[in-house]
């Protein structure tokens, strides 16, 4: 058995980040419509909050050059990606192609929608809370859609797939 590493998060940020990376998450792309056009951001900080009313949250980084646009959007869509959509996730990371050359449609609120996500949540911003170097954006789910498939996962800095335990 390997001995566990112990550290203080406030003095070793890299070790704290690496420890958080041991928790696998799903991968989403959040989309909004800005005055400059459609925008998207890959995020793994997504969670359900409430079933009644239907609420979800996600957490954009304050260091993002697009933070104000995403945290301030009245409407947004969260797209849960499937295990074959790693290229779509990469499009919406820093320096990615974004919507350039990508076919998309918009929902009734004008929010751009990505093609064929595993699940999608069309949201109206309900609240934004301080979350340190991130904000916690709570959205009321107005519409949700899903299809069969397996989720794209993110762990320890890499995309991957879910394999059931035997």
| Cβ within 8 Å of residue 25, ≥6 positions away | 44, 45, 46, 153, 154, 155
Q: Single out the residue of 31, 48, 46, 57 nearest to residue 127, CA to CA.
A: 57
Q: What is the CATH number of domain 25-155?
A: 2.30.110.10
CA diameter of the chain: 55
pLDDT tens digits, 44-90 = 999 999 999 999 999 999 999 999 999 999 999 999 999 999 999 99
Structure-derived torsion over alpha carbons of residues 88, 70, 147, 93, reported in degrees to the nearest 10: 20
What's residue 166's pLDDT? 80
- Reported pTM: 0.92
Element (H, E) at 140: strand 134-146
pLDDT tens digits, 1-38 = 567 877 777 778 888 888 888 888 999 999 999 998 99
In degrees and rounded to multiples of 5, residue 29 shows phi and psi of -125, 125
Task: Break the chain into its structural domains and give their ranges.
Answer: 25-155
Whether 77 contacts 122, CB under 8 Å = yes
**Integer Cα distance of 137 and 129 in angstroms:** 7
What's residue 4's pLDDT? 80
């Amino acid at each position: 058995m390997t001995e566990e590493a112990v550290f203080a998060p406030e003095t070793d940020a890299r070790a704290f980040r690496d420890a958080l990376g041991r928790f696998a998450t799903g991968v989403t792309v959040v989309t909004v419509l800005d005055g400059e056009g459609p925008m998207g951001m890959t995020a793994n900080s997504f969670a359900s909050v409430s079933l009644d009313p239907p609420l979800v949250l996600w957490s954009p980084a304050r260091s993002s050059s697009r933070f104000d646009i995403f945290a301030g959007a009245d409407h947004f869509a969260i797209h849960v990606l499937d295990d074959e959509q790693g290229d779509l996730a990469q499009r919406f990371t820093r320096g990615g192609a974004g919507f350039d050359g990508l076919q998309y449609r918009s929902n009734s609120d004008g929010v751009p929608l990505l093609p064929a996500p595993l699940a999608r949540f069309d949201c109206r911003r309900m609240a934004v809370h301080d979350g340190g170097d991130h904000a916690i954006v709570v959205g009321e789910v107005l519409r949700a859609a899903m299809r069969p498939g397996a989720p794209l996962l993110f762990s320890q800095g890499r995309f991957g797939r879910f394999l059931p335990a035997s």
